[in-house]
């Protein structure tokens, strides 16, 4: 029986993937190369600095480590401008209902996200109180597909991996959950999330 559920944030609970995309695209525009939605798939679930490195690789651009930190900071400032405007309407269909349903069934709930903006976003959309634990980019050092974030999620809930289920929209996240030994439900395209134990189009399919 499932006792704990660990949710990724971006693309599972809230529709922030589009804002990450717009902010990276804004940087790419400054460098003068095209950054597409297909390119953006590679950044899902990936940490901010690693995402920047992938963007630079796509543009064939080489900059110093110091400049990388500056650019990552600029991207985040742009992203923050977008997420400052967020409200409940950007919670994905079924997400709140499903969280409430799990809580009623006594399932403990954790967030397992690479984002350093996770708490801000959860508060902004009014879902923070539904989580028993939050493991985010400020708490882990190894990015998905490393299992660290999900192992920490199980520990924070006081549960074993075999008692939990992960919900993930990113390939790197699905891999991370599998590496942690946790059953994983992919959210999105079954052709992309082939490694998941099950794939649904959104949490609305589960309520």
Binding residues are 8-10, 24, 43-48, 51, 75, 113-117, 144, 168-169
Active site residue 39: no
- Beta carbon nearer to ligand G6P, 102 or 114: 114
Backbone angles phi, psi at 43, to 5 degrees: -95, -10
**46 contact, one of Mg ion, ligand G6P, none, CB 5-8 Å limit per kind:** ligand G6P
- Beta carbon nearer to ligand G6P, 48 or 71: 48
- Beta carbon nearer to ligand G6P, 2 or 54: 54
Q: Which residues form the interface with ligand G6P (CB under 6 A)?
A: 10, 20, 43-48, 51, 76, 113-117, 137, 170
Note the helical H segments in the chain.
17-31, 37-41, 48-59, 65-83, 95-104, 118-124, 148-157, 171-180
> Binding-site residues for substrate, please?
8-10, 24, 43-48, 51, 75, 113-117, 144
Rounded to a whole number of angstroms, the minimum distance from the CB of residue 17 to ligand G6P is: 6
- Burial label for 104, CB within 10 Å (0-12, 13-18, 19+), is exposed
Q: Which helix (H) or strand (E) holds 167?
A: strand 164-168
Active site residue 15: no
> Binding-site residues for Mg(2+), please?
8, 10, 168-169
**In a 3-state reduction of DSSP, which class is residue 178?**
helix
Query: Could you give the maximum distance between any two Cα atoms of the chain, in Å?
Result: 52
Q: How far is Cα 187 from Cα 167, in angstroms, rounded to an integer? A: 7
Q: How far is Cα 30 from Cα 167, in angstroms, rounded to an integer? A: 35
Q: Which two tokens stand for residue 19?
A: 């804002």
Binding mask 153-172 for Mg ion (x = CB under 5 A): ----------------xx--
Among 7, 10, 133, 135, binds Mg ion (CB under 5 A): 10
Residues involved in catalysis: 8, 10
- Chain positions contacting Mg ion, by CB under 5 A: 8, 10-11, 45, 169-170
């Amino acid at each position: 029986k499932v006792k704990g559920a660990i949710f990724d944030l971006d693309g599972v609970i809230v529709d922030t993937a589009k804002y990450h995309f717009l902010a990276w695209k804004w940087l790419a525009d400054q460098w003068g190369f095209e950054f597409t939605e297909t390119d953006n798939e590679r950044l899902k679930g990936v940490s901010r600095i690693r995402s920047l490195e992938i963007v630079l690789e796509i543009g064939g651009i080489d900059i110093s480590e110091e400049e990388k930190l500056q650019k990552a900071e600029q991207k985040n400032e742009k992203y923050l401008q977008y997420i400052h405007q967020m409200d409940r309407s950007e919670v994905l269909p079924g997400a709140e209902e499903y969280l409430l349903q799990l809580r009623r069934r006594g399932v403990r709930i954790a967030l397992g996200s690479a984002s350093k903006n996770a708490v801000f976003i959860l508060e902004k959309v009014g879902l923070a109180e539904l989580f028993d634990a939050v493991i985010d980019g400020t708490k882990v050092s190894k990015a998905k597909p490393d299992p660290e974030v999900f192992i920490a999620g199980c520990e924070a809930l006081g549960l074993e991996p075999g008692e939990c289920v992960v919900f993930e929209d990113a390939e790197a996240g699905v891999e991370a959950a599998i590496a942690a030994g946790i059953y994983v439900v992919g959210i999105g395209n079954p052709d992309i999330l082939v490694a998941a134990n099950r794939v649904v189009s959104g949490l609305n399919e589960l309520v």
